[in-house]
Chains A and B, each alone.
Chain A
């Protein structure tokens, strides 16, 4: 072969330069592998600067047997139903008042409040600790409307967020959830084993112009959903008229689910 060491290094150096140059020029030319696909606004999505929810626990209390919101949410989002509580996956559920608001409870609380079932879900905190700890960016706070989102494609199942969330709003799929979903809803994906999931304020429904499934399912008007930044919105009016509390406000997470008690 007529290629000595010196020549070999010259040729390989030039080749490496050429390859690097090729990819750099591609970056600078703004070449897009997909070409022409342009984003289009869908017709009538529901938008807000800051989504928030107000839950009227008194109305919930009057209808103690009602589980419509939980059922609606869990069927819409293909949430599996496990018998073993260790495997449990939940997006919205009922908790006793003393558990949901343990820092606002005392032994001589009025009887009605004590046994009040409190509806709990992801609080979509303004300062979400789950987002801060996620190592892959699989969970993040959407800048445009404050929803704490989940990207199940990126979740590696480290469960750091589960530990960080002070509200227990996150569930981990210890097992393949598919066999435990009673009827799979084709419009929404299921999750796979090893992925964390939680409420997303129905961002997929908002994009189609629909209210969250739980709010829509509530026959008694106990759940209100609206824009916190709009002073005339339903939630702002409720917040200014009624006494409301939040879960664990002292932690500084700034939860965006408010409760009328």
Chain B
């Protein structure tokens, strides 16, 4: 190989740069505390919290399609309670503070859902 020294040095420098964020975080022990989410006001969510943490976006997508496309607007919660499939009216009636619940975690996870471009945050309207 011609210029083996330079090539190998180049590869090493490249790898070091690419992996910089990984070992920088390891060395610097940077830790970001999980966000403190506000407790909901109601007693029971539509599913258990662990499931909701991972799947609320799927649930909302399914609700969206069921309500808009099929006109199925209601569901029965785990305790037999009949509720409306509604982000603004059902979810936010317990999770009253969107800033301290939805936004905190979405910011932490660096996701930017556009639900609120159209769906109304009841508190902001009042």
Residues of A within 8 A of B (CB): 33-42, 78, 142, 144, 149, 151-153, 184-192, 203, 207
Contact = CB atoms under 8 A, between A and B. Distances in A.
Interface size class of B (residues with CB under 8 A): 20 to 34
Given A151-B69, A153-B68, A186-B125, 15 more contacts: A33-B58, A34-B59, A36-B78, A38-B76, A39-B72, A39-B75, A40-B76, A42-B74, A152-B118, A184-B120, A187-B88, A188-B120, A190-B118, A191-B118, A207-B71
Contacts, number: 62
Given A153-B64, A184-B125, A187-B89, A37 B118 contact: no
B119 interface: yes
Nearest to A142: B71
B52 to A, nearest CB: 11
B63 to A, nearest CB: 9
A193 B63 CA distance: 23
29 contacts: A33-B55, A33-B58, A34-B58, A34-B59, A34-B62, A36-B78, A37-B76, A39-B66, A39-B70, A39-B74, A40-B74, A40-B75, A142-B71, A152-B118, A153-B68, A184-B125, A185-B120, A186-B89, A186-B120, A186-B122, A186-B126, A188-B120, A189-B119, A189-B120, A190-B120, A191-B118, A192-B114, A192-B117, A192-B118
B73 interface: yes
Contacts of A34: 55, 58-59, 62
A203 B72 CA distance: 12
B82 interface: yes
A57 to B, nearest CB: 32
Contacts of A187: 88-89
A77 B85 CA distance: 19
Contact of A37 (B70, B75, B125): B75
Interface of B: 46-47, 55, 58-59, 62, 64, 66, 68-76, 78, 82, 88-89, 114, 117-120, 122, 125-126
A224 to B, nearest CB: 23
Contacts of B82: 40
A38 B75 contact: yes
A65 to B, nearest CB: 30
Contacts of A189: 88, 118-120
Main secondary structure of the interface of A (DSSP, over half): loop
Contacts of A78: 120
Contacts of B126: 186
Contacts of B125: 184-186
Contacts of A38: 75-76
